[in-house]
Amino acid sequence: MTATPMEDLLSVDTLTGLVKRFADQADNRACTAIFEQHAKPIYPMGQVASWEEVVFGRHLAPVTGVDSPHTQARRLGRRRRSSVMVMVKAYKDLPGSALFLTRAPGQDTADAEAVIADELLDLTTIVQNTKEYLACGALLGKIQVDPQSVPGSELSFEVDFGVPEFQSTNWLDPQARLRSGEFQRLKRRYKAGSGERAGLVLADERLEGALVRNEEIKGFAKEVLGRQILRGQSHGRTPQWDGLAGLNWHFTDGTYQPEGGQVTSYWPEDTALVLPEERNMRRVLGWAEGRVLVPAQEVFGSAEDALSLVREVRGHYAYAKVRTDPLGIRIYAGWYGLPLVLNPEALLRVNVRPQLAPAAL
């Protein structure tokens, strides 16, 4: 039997594909993007994500004679860790009148497909908001979930990755010697602790304004801007940050607003995070996505079919079912997984306003 256009739209493959596409196109998600683009994929078979924190050797290999035996080296240091994964999910009820009898937003006639797509986009947005909250928490060193921090949550748990912290000078001081002194000190501290070369700095976008006002950085920005203009590369970019202290800089302006609450930034204003170069992030970050079982029958199929047909997907998922009293469709969407820090020593959380206590996670 050939599926109708509505059945095809409400299939698991179509809805899950839409959710993934909406998630990929979402902006305002700096922390999630770092994990999804650079982290090591991890695919747990059960409900628990397991990983190993690995410590690489940093000493010198010994020099021996030509006829001497090889010197035994120590094996990598490993610490086995595990945690339950996070299930982020929500649903919406769409009455038949809203789908087939009421004018769709921005249109003159009813359009069930457009209504479903818009509602699914909204579901994806709130799921992505929670993913970003989790991803930023992991980068900052601790994931904390409870009904207060994530309203509506049914459980409370935390995962503490033990990311080291560093007290820097006050970056908001326009006279601070950041380029010539503090950034070099920061890079040496990161190198000493991790053995890695610092590659990326992640900070709140409000900190960008403070750096622009710094006298040393003003001069650096003029030098770089002049070179970019001569090369014709100044359009659509922020060239003043290219190569500052030999680092890439990423400023995030992501926010969310709890129901009935105030707009809140994912990233604390007084904190910057130093990460390794992108090519080395797979050794530092992990992105676990768990198995989800969803009903795979056609949305208008019988109850008997629903008992026997089940689909398995990973990470993002979406599906729908018909409601009969009143007539309508319920759409479900969610994500199952956990962002991980595989090597906490390769991250460095920096307090850029040392006169203040570090921001709460």
pLDDT tens profile 159-208: 999 999 999 999 988 898 988 889 999 999 999 988 889 989 999 888 88
Between 232 and 284, residue with greater pLDDT:
284
Question: What is the rounded CA–CA span in Å between residue 57 and residue 50?
Answer: 23
Between 214 and 274, residue with greater pLDDT:
274
**Nearest alpha carbon to residue 272 among 167, 177, 129:** 167
Query: Average pLDDT, stretch 350-359?
Result: 70
User: Residue 156: pLDDT above 60?
Assistant: yes
Query: Average pLDDT, stretch 212-239?
Result: 58
Question: What is the rounded CA–CA span in Å between residue 336 and residue 289?
Answer: 6
Cα separation of the two ends of the chain: 54
Between 88 and 75, residue with greater pLDDT:
88
| Confidence class for position 231, pLDDT limits 50, 70, 90 | very low
User: Residue 267: pLDDT above 70?
Assistant: yes
User: Is the separation of the CB atoms in 112 and 102 below 8 Å?
Assistant: no
| Confidence class for position 244, pLDDT limits 50, 70, 90 | confident
- Percent of the chain exceeding pLDDT 90 equals 28
Q: Which of 43-52, 170-179, 194-203, 299-308 has the lowest mean pLDDT?
A: 299-308
> How far is C-alpha 220 from the geometric centre of its chain's CA atoms?
31
Between 350 and 360, residue with greater pLDDT:
350
Token pair of 309 as six digits: 């047909």
Query: Average pLDDT, stretch 329-352?
Result: 92
User: Residue 145: pLDDT above 80?
Assistant: yes
**The model scores a pTM over 0.85:** no
Between 7 and 118, residue with greater pLDDT:
118
For residue 224, CA distances in Å to 36, 177, 180, 199 come to: 31, 18, 16, 19
Question: With b meaning 16 or more CB within 10 Å and e meaning fewer, what string describes 139-148?
Answer: bbbebbbeee
Query: Average pLDDT, stretch 115-144?
Result: 90
Per residue, the 3-state secondary structure of 258-313, as one string, reads: CCCCCCEECCCCCEEEEEECHHHHHHCEEEEECEEEEECCCCCCCHHHHHHCEEEE
pLDDT tens-digit readout, 56-86: 666 677 787 788 888 887 777 777 888 889 9
Between 274 and 298, residue with greater pLDDT:
274
pLDDT at 233: 44
User: Is the separation of the CB atoms in 252 and 203 below 8 Å?
Assistant: yes
pLDDT at 58: 66
